[in-house]
């Protein structure tokens, strides 16, 4: 874990759940002086955390800024690896770019890059991604599965299953659905995009960078006019504010679980979970690939994650990569 001493202190307050903690306990527990504890508390207060002093008992955390910082994410984590090494930044060009650099420098499996905003967030096919400051989840996780490059695209589907199940466990007023291959929709509007990039040698994956952008707490007027009819957020649909650190940690919990299951058991169990949450299967769709436009009924995905489309004449075509429009 790469928590700083300040984050270690904050983590203890988050886990204390409104119970007071004495400065002496913190000093003994962390092996630093009472003065050092006080200085770290001062820094946390400058960052927007509010502490109340209770006579003869210590400090209570009574107010938190809305940030996706490491300590708050860590307080919800149940993973062994994913999210145990976090690079948290206020503003980046894109978390994907930072993750590329870290992966090349040897970042460990499960390393997370997360930011409050991105100035050049990107989706598939280098499209720009709107990253409202402090309102969404903008993150990239570096994973190092021992698989051949041909299996890399399936991790986008693994990530989609993890995100959908995380959202379902936190939000109760709607059902998200997966639009093949990399979008999560709510009532037909996009709330999440996934971008998987690969660093690889000829016969093995060195690292996969799974970029995830989630509209969490935006309201309709936070979106540019051209997105207001096609985008939504979890908060709009749930009708209450989303705890972003909890959402991040829950995604990581599911993602580690499903990545490990995929490595251990193959794609079959993931395929079943994906189809269960699919908003594409059974629908008439138009798939625009680099070479052609295919119209037909989406009938399922193969063991390799390829979308199968049945044409009007009964022929079945497999699509590896495309823009999908539901007719």
List residues forming the annotated binding site for biotin.
118, 190
Looking from the CA of 221 toward its CB, the CA atoms found within 13 Å total 0
Q: Which residues are annotated as a binding site?
A: 118, 190
CA distance 134 to 241: 12
For the record, the structure tokens of 220 come out as: 């309709």
| End-to-end Cα separation, the chain, in angstroms | 47
CA–CA distance from 69 to each of 65, 222, 295, 313 (Å)? 10, 22, 45, 54
Looking at 254-311, which runs of residues are DSSP E strands?
A: 284-288, 293-301, 307-310
Q: What are phi and psi of 122, to 5 degrees?
A: -135, 150
* Cβ–Cβ < 8 Å for 247, 73: no
CA distance 233 to 223: 10
* Cβ–Cβ < 8 Å for 177, 281: no
């Amino acid at each position: 874990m790469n928590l700083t001493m300040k984050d270690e202190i904050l983590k203890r307050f988050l886990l204390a759940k409104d119970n007071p903690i004495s400065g002496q306990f913190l000093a003994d527990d962390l092996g630093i002086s009472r003065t050092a504890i006080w200085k770290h508390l001062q820094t946390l207060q400058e960052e927007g955390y509010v502490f109340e002093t209770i006579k003869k008992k210590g400090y209570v955390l009574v107010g938190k800024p809305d940030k996706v910082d490491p300590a708050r994410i860590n307080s919800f984590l149940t993973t062994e690896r994913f999210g145990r090494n976090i690079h948290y930044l206020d503003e980046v060009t894109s978390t994907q770019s930072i993750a590329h650099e870290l992966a090349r420098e040897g970042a460990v499996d499960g390393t997370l890059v997360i930011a409050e905003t991105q100035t050049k967030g990107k989706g598939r096919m280098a499209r720009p991604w709107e990253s409202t400051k402090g309102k969404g989840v903008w993150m990239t996780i570096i994973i190092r599965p021992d698989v051949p490059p041909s299996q890399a695209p399936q991790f986008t589907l693994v990530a989609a299953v993890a995100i959908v199940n995380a959202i379902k466990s936190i939000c109760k007023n709607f059902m998200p659905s997966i639009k093949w291959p990399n979008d999560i929709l709510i009532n037909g509007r996009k709330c999440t995009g996934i971008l998987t990039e690969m660093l690889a040698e000829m016969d093995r994956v060195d690292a996969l960078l799974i970029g995830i952008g989630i509209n969490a707490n935006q309201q309709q007027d936070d979106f540019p006019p051209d997105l207001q009819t096609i985008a939504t957020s979890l908060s709009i649909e749930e009708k209450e504010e989303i705890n972003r650190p909890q959402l991040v940690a829950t995604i990581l919990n599911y993602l580690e679980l499903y990545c490990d299951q995929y490595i251990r058991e193959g794609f079959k169990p993931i395929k079943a979970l994906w189809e269960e949450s699919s908003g594409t299967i059974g629908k008439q769709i138009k798939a625009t690939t680099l070479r052609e436009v295919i119209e037909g009924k989406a009938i399922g995905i193969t063991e390799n994650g390829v979308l199968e489309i049945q044409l009007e004449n009964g022929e079945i075509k497999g699509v590896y990569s495309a823009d999908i429009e539901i007719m």
